[in-house]
């Protein structure tokens, strides 16, 4: 399978982008069309720690979770739902465990579909187990186990295949804590994309063979790490202007999945997905105010702007006053989707979209750049040098910096954020446009500075 880089935008203008609609919708699972004119809740969950003890316990736990969600969805009249099972490590390390869980979940979903006609699909996200204690081990034995895991879930009922890959993380962890823009570009833009090119061609092969969907990835391991370290308004661990530069770069990385054959929906925690959608037109999952059970962010409404699936990221399965956690959160998601679907139905979608955007566009530099109008511009910067994975990532960073430097005065930034931005601009201005030069400089630097960096992970 080949890599086909995107050289054009999927949408003629940013304003054409809207929730519930993708230029390339995806049919999946039991009667579902994602991005085909309506939004759908995507529920995420984690088993209680005790349930991981044996395979039997784990399968039972997921059966309970699945039944709870499906029951609540029909109780409130939700027309459609997606379930995402993010593997706990032992499920990926023992591929047949993942397969058995998928089969058990799918059987329950089929029963509900048969009885009520509820449209549904099951996403499985094996863990990226490609590391040993000290090093990433992206190629080799663990890769084979990971692929076996995909094969098992795909052949046992999973409709959508995803992963949160870790390529580039060892360098990114180092760079992010040191305001090192070149390191972020090398880690996320170059190393990350290189790994994505490899793994997504193989996942797509498995998906095709099993007639299921090669869905997509997220730069959780890098851009979300930056976002979490940046934290809330008062945290002082990382400038939010740098976190959003990492995010802009990450769009060029997440895009690579679709260039290697994935078709969407992209993963929920990829806050870069609006940028990706502007380029690839694939449906995307997003999370925000509904994922406060898992983490905090500063753009809880804004990220709904162009979502096709609306998710809660992850919640541990246990009881709440209103039912089990998965029931409470699936219900919240379903009502959000109902509201978006009403807006679509009544011709008010753009108004609702823009209200959600304005809620958070000026809250923080991150929301400002991810607002679809600016996200689109970052997308344009990426496709300009589509075929050079370094230059396109650099373009994204440069565009992000320019947009912030010339931002609407309604976006107030602290002096600290502005200084970090200025330093980032200087660093970017000082970078070469010669990709080979950049890569060889970085190899030398990070081999020396990052003990755990192993170029052979990237065939370098």
Partner 1 sequence: MTSLEIEPNTILVRYNVEKEKSMSPAEAAEELYPKDELIRPIAEAIFEGEEDDVVDGLQKAIDAGKDPIALIDDALMVGMGVVSKLYDEGVIFLPNVMMSADAMLEGIEFCKSKSSTAPVAKGKVVCHVAEGDVHDIGKSIVVALLRANGFDVVDLGRDVPVDEVVEAVKAEKPMMLTGTALMTTTMFAFKAVNDRLLEAGIKIPFQCGGGAVNQDFVSQYELGVYGEEAADAPKMAQAILEGKDLDALKKQFHTH
Does position 12 interact with partner 1 (CB under 8 A)? The reply is no
Q: Based on CB atoms, which residue is closest to ligand B12, 68 or 84?
A: 84
Q: Which does 413 bind (CB under 5 to 8 A by kind): partner 1, ligand B12, none?
A: partner 1
Closest by alpha carbon to 427, among 198, 187, 183? Answer: 183
In whole angstroms, give the CA distance from residue 194 to residue 207: 20
Please tell me whether residue 313 binds ligand B12 under the rule CB under 6 A.
yes
C-alpha closest to that of 349 among 23, 24, 10, 16: 16
Q: Does 229 bind partner 1 (CB under 8 A)?
A: yes
Q: Which of 224, 241, 254, 324 binds ligand B12 (CB under 6 A)?
A: 224
Window contacting ligand B12 (CB under 6 A); options: 81-89, 331-339, 351-359, 385-393: 81-89
DSSP classification of residue 78: -
Candidates 279, 357, 341, 299; CA nearest to 4 is: 279
Distances (CA, A) of 216 to 352, 360, 383, 394: 27, 26, 19, 22
Query: By rule CB under 6 A, what string of x and - marks binding of each residue 364-393 to ligand B12?
Result: ------------------------------
Out of 362, 384, 431, 435, the only residue in the binding site for partner 1 (CB under 8 A) is 362
- Measured from the CB atom, the residue of 263 and 349 that comes closer to partner 1 is 349
Tally the C-alpha atoms within 13 A of residue 87's C-alpha that lie toward its C-beta. 31
Question: What's the closest the beta carbon of residue 154 comes to ligand B12, in angstroms?
Answer: 17
238 part of the interface to partner 1, by CB under 8 A: yes
From 83-91, 111-119, 376-384, 437-445, span contacting ligand B12 (CB under 6 A)? 83-91
Write the DSSP string, 249-312: HHHHHHHHHHHTT--SPBPTT-TTHHHHHHHH---BEEESGGGTTT---S-TTGGGTT-SEEE-
Given candidates 93, 292, 359, 402, which one binds partner 1 under the rule CB under 8 A? Answer: 359
Would you count residue 191 as binding ligand B12 (CB under 6 A)?
no
Q: Is 166 in the site for ligand B12 (CB under 6 A)?
A: yes
- Number of Cβ atoms within 10 Å of the Cβ of 49: 9
Cα-to-chain-centroid distance, residue 286: 8
Q: Token pair of 92, please? A: 């990926």
Q: Which residues contact 350 (CB under 8 A, 6 or more apart)?
A: 15, 18
Q: Which stretch binds ligand B12 (CB under 6 A): 100-108, 182-190, 221-229, 446-454?
A: 221-229
d(CA 11, CA 26): 17
Q: How far is the CB of 382 from ligand B12 (least distance, A)?
A: 23
Q: Which residue in 19, 119, 69 sits closest to 312, CA to CA? A: 69
355 binds, among partner 1, ligand B12, none (CB under 5 to 8 A by kind): partner 1
Question: CB of 149: closest distance to ligand B12 in angstroms?
Answer: 11
Q: Does 134 bind partner 1 (CB under 8 A)?
A: yes
CA angle, residues 414, 416, 419, in degrees to nearest 5 = 115
Is residue 178 involved in binding partner 1 (CB under 8 A)?
yes
What distance in Å separates the CA atoms of residue 165 and residue 128, rounded to the nearest whole number? Answer: 6
Which of ligand B12, partner 1, none lies near 85, with the C-beta cut-off 5 to 8 A by kind? none
Stretch that binds ligand B12, among 224-232, 273-281, 297-305, 335-343 (CB under 6 A): 224-232
Token pair for 231: 């934290």
Q: Does 85 bind ligand B12 (CB under 6 A)?
A: no
- Tell me: does residue 173 bind partner 1 (CB under 8 A): yes
| Cβ neighbours for 300, distance < 8 A, ≥ 6 positions apart | 288, 289, 292, 359, 360
127 binds ligand B12 (CB under 6 A): yes
Q: Interface residues with ligand B12 (CB under 6 A)?
A: 46, 86-87, 89, 127-128, 166, 173, 220-221, 224-225, 228-229, 294-295, 313-314
Using CB under 8 A, list all residues that contact partner 1. 14-15, 49, 52, 88-89, 131, 133-134, 173, 177-179, 225, 229, 233-234, 236-239, 242, 316, 350-351, 354-355, 358-363, 373, 410, 412-416, 420
């Amino acid at each position: 399978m080949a890599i086909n880089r995107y050289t054009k935008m999927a949408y003629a203008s940013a304003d054409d982008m809207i929730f519930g609609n993708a230029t390339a919708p995806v049919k999946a699972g039991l009667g579902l069309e994602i991005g085909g004119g309506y939004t759908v809740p995507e529920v995420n969950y984690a088993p209680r720690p005790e349930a991981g003890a044996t395979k039997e316990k784990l399968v039972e736990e997921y059966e309970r979770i699945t039944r709870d969600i499906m029951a609540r969805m029909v109780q409130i009249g939700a027309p459609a739902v997606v379930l995402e099972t993010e593997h706990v490590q032992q499920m990926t390390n023992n591929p047949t465990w993942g397969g058995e869980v998928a089969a058990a979940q799918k059987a329950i979903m089929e029963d509900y579909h048969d009885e009520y006609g509820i449209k549904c699909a099951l996403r499985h996200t094996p863990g990226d187990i490609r590391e040993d204690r000290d090093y990433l081990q992206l190629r080799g034995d663990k890769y084979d186990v990971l692929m076996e895991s995909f094969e098992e879930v795909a052949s046992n009922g999973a409709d959508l295949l995803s992963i949160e890959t870790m390529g580039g993380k060892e360098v990114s962890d180092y760079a992010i804590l040191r305001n090192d823009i070149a390191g972020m570009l090398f880690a996320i833009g170059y190393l990350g994309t290189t790994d994505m090119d490899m793994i997504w061609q193989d996942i797509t092969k498995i998906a095709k063979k099993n007639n299921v969907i090669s869905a997509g990835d997220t730069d959780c391991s890098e851009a979300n790490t930056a976002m979490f370290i940046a934290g809330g308004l008062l945290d002082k661990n990382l400038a939010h202007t740098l976190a959003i530069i990492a995010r802009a770069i990450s769009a060029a990385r997440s895009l690579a999945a679709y260039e290697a054959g994935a078709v969407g929906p992209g993963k929920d925690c990829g806050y870069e997905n609006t940028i990706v959608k502007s380029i690839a037109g694939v449906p995307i999952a997003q999370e925000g105010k509904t994922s406060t059970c898992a983490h905090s962010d500063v753009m809880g409404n804004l990220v709904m702007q162009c979502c096709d699936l609306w998710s809660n990221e992850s919640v541990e399965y246990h009881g709440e006053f209103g039912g089990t956690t998965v029931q409470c959160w699936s219900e919240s998601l379903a009502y959000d989707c109902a509201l978006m679907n009403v807006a679509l139905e009544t011709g008010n979608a753009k108004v609702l979209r823009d209200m959600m955007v304005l809620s958070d566009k000026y809250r923080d530099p991150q929301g400002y750049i991810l607002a679809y109008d600016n996200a689109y511009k970052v997308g344009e910067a990426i496709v300009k040098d589509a075929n050079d994975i370094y230059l396109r990532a650099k373009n994204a960073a440069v565009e992000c910096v320019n947009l912030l430097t010339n931002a609407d005065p309604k976006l107030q930034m602290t002096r600290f954020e502005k200084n970090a931005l200025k330093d980032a601009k200087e660093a970017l201005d000082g970078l070469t446009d010669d990709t080979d030069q950049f890569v060889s400089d970085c190899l030398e630097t990070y081999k020396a500075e990052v003990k755990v960096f192993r170029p052979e992970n990237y065939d370098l």
